[in-house]
Amino acid sequence: MISLLDLRARIESGTLSPDAAIRGARAAITKRDGSLGAILRTAPEGPVPAEGPLAGIAVGIKDIIDTADMATEHGSPIHAGWRPRADAAVVARLRALGAVPLAKTATTAFAGLDPCGTANPHDPARTPGGSSSGSAAAIAAGLLPLALGTQTGGSVIRPAAFCGIAAIKPSFRLIPTVGVKTFSWALDTVGLFARGVPDLARALALIVERREIETEAPSAPRIALCRQDFAGEADAEALAALARAGRAAERAGARVFDLALPDPFARAWAAHPTVQDFEARQALAWEYATHRAALPPVLGAQLDRAQALTAAQYDSARRDAHRARRQLKDMFADFDAILTVSAVGRAPDRATTGDARFNRLWTLMGVPCVTVPVPGDGLPLGVQVIARFGDDGRALALAGMIEAALRMRD
């Protein structure tokens, strides 16, 4: 895997030029993506910016995010060949920082649940997760140092965990979604994938113009270990990884204790699909009305069911979410972060993109979530660190602390 910070250090020292760094990324894609299927298309050759804090950084852009120099097809033949006239806001910001949005990465159709053709770099028979399949796989395979994805349920955190990399789903709307194909306007969040947590912190701080995001962990942080029992049971291996991450946090000086979330959170968790699907029915109304037969099976059936949802059900679900958000804000007075599993377990086979049930509450809450890989044998496992809304710097700092401690032996 390629480190954004390592590349930038080499560029700043003069041992690597931005142009050479981008050429290296193009060569890696040509050499290694054939069997992986993470990259859909690359940007035309052209001058590489020599200045800017992200000069020389090649970025993968999930194919629901607009790029003026590459087609944006939303993972669907319905939009085959569509070329936006403008970059999405986050893509324009990356260019202003000197980065090169180099490749469009594979996504499931309209960021839904139907698998796309991308393989997991650790085992081609396994899914890389969805819907940000290509972005996660491209980082894990060492094709790119940074990639963009989106999360509506668990589509940043889960694929990062399956691919053994770091990722952040920031606080809701911290990164603008202007120019991003909507699935659910109350949930969709642009996120970042990278090799490690320090890379994420640097990239996010620059993208959102908040350098304070790149901060140090507080001394003796309080970390609440949460199993989300209302979401069902995680695999034994995932729970063992969570326990291992808890021990690593304690070695780093944290105070770790168990947290059982009260009933309002179970109701909010159950409300997530109603909010998501009621909005998806409207966001994808044109595709459903004019191209129903071209929609893939899982998404098509999901939108079929969504037609029966009522505004009263949607409003009730939103109230459940609001109550839980208010209670979570108060609960964060008692701890600095929540530590929980990133996924049910290891990556399943490619017939599915995996299960988002341990992610969707936190997407609905709008809080920052950072996934950290837990080293070990076999396919990757991850844990996620969750902080108060707007406290993305603390989420990243504590995730970085745990990431570093996990490199030490139990």
Residue numbers of the chain with a pLDDT score lower than 50: none
Tell whether domain 4-213 is in CATH 3.40.50.410.
no
Which pLDDT value is given to residue 5?
98
Identity of the amino acid at 261: L
Which pLDDT value is given to residue 394?
98
Which pLDDT value is given to residue 392?
98
Q: Is 77 helix (H, G, I), strand (E, B) or coil?
A: helix
CA 5 to chain CA centroid, Å, is: 19
For the annotated catalytic residues, the residue numbers are 62, 131, 155
Which pLDDT value is given to residue 408?
84
Which pLDDT value is given to residue 409?
66
Identity of the amino acid at 314: Y
CA atoms within 13 A on the CB side of 160: 35
Phi and psi, residue 156, nearest 5°: -110, -55
Cβ neighbourhood burial of 215 (10 Å; 0-12, 13-18, 19+): middle
Q: Is 334 helix (H, G, I), strand (E, B) or coil?
A: coil
What does pTM read for this prediction?
A: 0.98
Identity of the amino acid at 9: A
Name the H helices within 208-310: 236-251, 263-283, 285-291, 297-306
CA distance 152 to 159: 13
From residue 156, alpha-carbon distances to 96, 167, 213, 274, 363 in Å are 24, 7, 19, 20, 10
* Cis preceding-peptide flag for 131 (omega within 30 of 0): yes
For 123, which DSSP code? B
